[in-house]
Structure 1
């Protein structure tokens, strides 16, 4: 039984609401709620209805109100559970469900439930939305009553809803009610009245719990999965998807030659097609990966407008040269004119620019129409702010503003819901009420000479909504996929129908209407409740172009190669699904054969994790039904290996305590199933699979049956085990530096180790014995890291050898007569006439085994500072025990460069870019380089098995005497910045840095090209200029070093005549770009100063015209400068805390949360 005890709405004030101070009368506060109810009688059903059925926030249409009273008598004699009489409401039967003595509580429990007698006759999808109130009142005095209110979506599964804790039993019987002298239940009787209001479920999801909800079935559309905090991306993608013309244009981008997950156009095509055909919510992981996003970006809420612009720009780039080249500008781009028009003379300066979206103010503006008026309102330039109209008209009064020349077919409007609050010094969300219409006429905002032959009427297509505050919010969208259809709410993976009221009214923001908050009492009534959800982006489509923009998109419009690829992937997923479903019927079998063992060049008999499709040494894999017998399995193996089944015997593989896997004993009875064999004989493994070794008999009898050396059945069927043991042989070839499987042999345990020599020599084809001067060294491979020398005179029994053990052997040159078998030359020991031994060659098998245990494939990439044409990436297999110098030697050999001139860098785990340089130290080896400090936080941030290399112009020893200074060179004012890494002697000065930089950047030196200024900046602010004799070691690591040619006019200027210049956007705290020093001239009007600034910065034309100039002081707002202002009065001084600010757009703008918004 599902219950609901919530009978009044409690709302917490938001951060944006102002605290309200109110004088409170305690008695009045206590009596507010009682005064109204005390004057009402429970028999006045209409009056009571106003109390128990208050207006709902959802404002659904009321279909029927019904009041039904049940007089309950002999309360104490009632059973545990009682039902009231059935009554009709909304065409369905209802009744009161009563637990007189509580539903497992010490209070009476009362519910409303549907009154269907036969639950099986209720349709599966039946539902009815009901608001109801339950009132308990005294049968003699109707002024004494108690009530609860609720609303619920009744279904076949949720047949009742109400209040488990309706009223305490002691209050009902033992205490006078409201000081009346009578209990509520008097003479064991009481009335219970049900007020039932059946409301219309217009969308089909009113008060839905969304258990087992199917978006595709209910709406025909599917949602997008949220990766963490990607709801803002999901709402934008759905908006673009349902702009059908945009979807078609994206489909026209040629991607057949680049079906890569790094191609954002291809991944967007995949996403759109999946949204079009899928029955389930679609993931966006592929798309965000193609953007170059890592986990940090996925869990940050990025700037939606920035993302929208960059995504559309990227698609426009990919459409160039295709059939869809002009589709996006035609669909999404309009034109706006910026002008300054003189009032008294016929002179106007204007420019027309393209726009892709419009940002509109919200604060203090009631609706969209007024915001458009605010956008195009004119500013009068008069008085001290007159406009310079050229030499002909001089300074004139003028009007400055913008006006639209045309709007796009699809208009994106970004509402400024997030603004910087100077008082709180942070970004804040604006929840002001801001209305927008379903139909919008944009004619009033067009220039007089704009083309108006076609109406500029727009229909609302989408409302993108933000719910919550700046730091903890959620995004979703209301979209209208069809011209005359419904709006739908796209909330991540859930899609539901939406009413016009939900789409418009609920997303205007502002306060909730007081009429919807009648249940609030006392202080609650005096505190306004702000809606937390509000529109932040609107999408309108020109009414006359609706058919073109919302043109149907068919499956055929999708690129055929994409359909084929996704169909193949869907078929593969379906096959995997069926495989998972049938997995319980199968038992995987992994089989080692003589062939796979011979191809295995590493430790143990095989690598059970290897893939047979990629590695010929991998064990054979059989997906076999559990009921398959061992005999049938042998037949499968025999067929695959072209052998007679009679000659094959399977050995069960077991896990030894030393974590190796070896054959233990043969499976003699082939009648059981593989499942029975696995359960009876196999030991626990990390994976669910039967592991076996397939032995092939060397001899057969006259009937073709195998003759086995041991574990042979006699005539009576008894298994005979003799003293022969099964050994596997491996050969280490020191010349070729290889370890290879040779095969297996059976040897008596009483034989000595030296008795194996002729057997091995014969198997290897070396003859009956080894040539004079050679001997055979042998080891037992106990486990990969434990290789023990076998003594020649020991018996196999004494050496503790058993079935499945591995013997590794190696031919060695006998060093002197009488040398014992197994005594080897020490590593690196060579005759004087031989060439020196290489450190990466191994004289004996034991050393080679050590290499196998510590080997690692390492990828080497050239550092971005290296010329890509000079060096390529490569992969080396190396031991983690090699030293830094040995690593340099091996890489130098690969590159063909001096190993002393190579520097290595670890790689960042998340970005893959180079981290800091690796220090050359005696204690360093490859293992500590790749895994610093074992598994610390630093290790987690380092990409394993990857290093960057840089080929230096000097040795590392010489490099240690240098300091690396990153110098940014300004070659064309402030418009072009190039960064160079400059090495300079640690004992040098800035003048040495300049000389080294000139050589590195390949520019003219100071004698030919002019003097170079070097200065430091910090957080986009000028820090200090560095004189030529300034020590290099004193340059701060936390600052950026800037170098530029000193303009001729500044060469001999007085230092007191300079002002520092910064770049900022709107707010002086939002600095960006590279600051610089600028020479002021006494008495110069700013109109002339601007010309010199244009030359100094290198910013030309329209970009320079957009810059606003201001004087910036600490803790003060910028004071913007007029053309006739003079910054440096004659005889004046420039204050130290004053800087000149250039207010213009930050082209490297970051998102609200500070992370860079980028798409690869």
Structure 2
């Protein structure tokens, strides 16, 4: 995400005129130019201009032939105004004041306007504007005959009041684009200059073909969607390459864990302590404790912030977007808290105040929008007054309904909003329709006396139907009205009322159709007048704890929404709070509860819960807290292992989803008995009897899979002081399965982490493993060791250096728990003699072919790829 802020130039840096040497100028005269054609919509502002006001006292008494103003800054350069008050006209010029500090081949492209202010009538102010490319030979530019001295000194003219003259200058430097060196060939700088010129002076939309061609994009890339991030990265790289010597820094700010731009800046300038294993290496002094941080010496006129909205998710093996709430201040003050972001060398007299501009991008134009258009109008009106103003419908004749999606892909109103709901904010109403709020507006008919309308009295067993009338002669379709009917009633019972609604005779024969949508077409199905409005469904309910036994049955309507279903169920179970019931659908095959329960109001109707009428069974469980509150939390089943690595007990820990692994550890410490009060704990993920991950303390528990086994164990003392060349490796147990013709091994038992020292042989490691696992000598002599990955293992000999087979850090260089795909494998018989189950990992190796084994594990498909040997 890109955020561009423009500096607020209400306070301008003004320096003393003696601060830089100034040669006697040879003024260059310019003819005023007319402004380019303006586009219809308000376009994006030009680069920020700086207004400088020069007040000259006692002008008529000056004896100087040339007079200079104070120095002021615009576009990162210093400027001065100079006048020649002698002769027949006042001559007025703009000059580059810091030319002597610039390289010999310097150029500055700028637009500027000069004005002599009429202090009595501002509309008579004399103003002239032009643009110029300043360089070492043309350091100034202006107008020799700006205003005649006769007109200037006229007592009634208003230009000289109390012998004081006021001169204003507006300067906009176009250094970012027009100043880039270009060649005649179609390069990115040349294409940028061309497109910006057309944007500034054109009155139509501009083609970007020249710009994309300069990127090297051909016809094929034109049909691929490219986002603004790709464009920004390409531009920044090319600009940095072409503008050698121009100071530039790509400012990338974190979004995760930050509530606004200020929090991101605070995180960017945080001081990092380099100590322990992360000491700073200083030349001639070795490793030293140090502090590392970033501060800014200055900020540019236009500040571009790259917000890091994407990060790599190791669980999904993909880039995921961070959708956390993030706020942008209307004004960004980077001088806050006594300049906390500035280095001691920064110029504190420069004001670093930026204003947020919101830009609207459509197909052909970019326009600047105000706050109301940018925020409120993106989501529709805030209240009924906005609807009344937009549609011309009085507030007390409005009634809003929630929509629901039907099985035939049409939408229908489900229920009206209550008076309490209408008084709530839109944000509080979103949860009523699964995080997407769509409302139907009913216009209530009214007569002379307009009174507030209350929702119709609706009892259980009633449904609300809306009717439209089609006139085949006029080929018109119009809304006819609505009726509350009994769900057990029949259409034939309301034919007389429908005729009255349509204006027909009571005995007029009419046809009824149900309208529904199939893909992109609307279809009508005839309605049988003798059938009931709704067909019921007898639902068998089972407790999730006893999924194979029917407990009771309820007759429910297939169109019941979520609240109606759990309401009837709560009434049957004598529960006061229906929100404490959680439902789970039945899977297609095998016929057992699905692994994922139904989310709170996550389905629209009962038929969706029953897998679209393929099943008549629902599983329920009664919770100790309301389901919406539970869904805002993360539940983890954690097995605790003490210092001897023996399993002690399994705890269920429930914490808010934004909690970290460190919070899990702290919560568990209050529930278990540790070997000592200062013992350190760590959380491991176990999959198929292998350690697949060791979690860091700051990792969010929301990212932890719901289907893995979690283990918490004490960190041994030998692992707390690892050397620079030491590492921790994952150790797993396996045995040979003799029931198969292929060579294979089966992973079983409890895996563990083991310290491997540099230069340590397998014979030395085996001694420590035997002692750790307390294995008798006779049995341990039969154990075999190998280095294993996801392919065939490599046997190890007693003389092999074990550390040579393992990396010191994982593939991302983030921890010392060894690469995730490498293991120290211990082959021995499985003394537990437990039968093979689907939660054990079996790997089959064949030297000729690749085979894929798919096992259904708790309703999930686990795929193992067997690689060639």
| Same fold? TM cut 0.5 | no
Larger Rg: 1
Q: Normalising by structure 2, what TM-score?
A: 0.30
Q: TM-score, normalised by structure 1?
A: 0.23
Higher-helix-fraction structure: 1
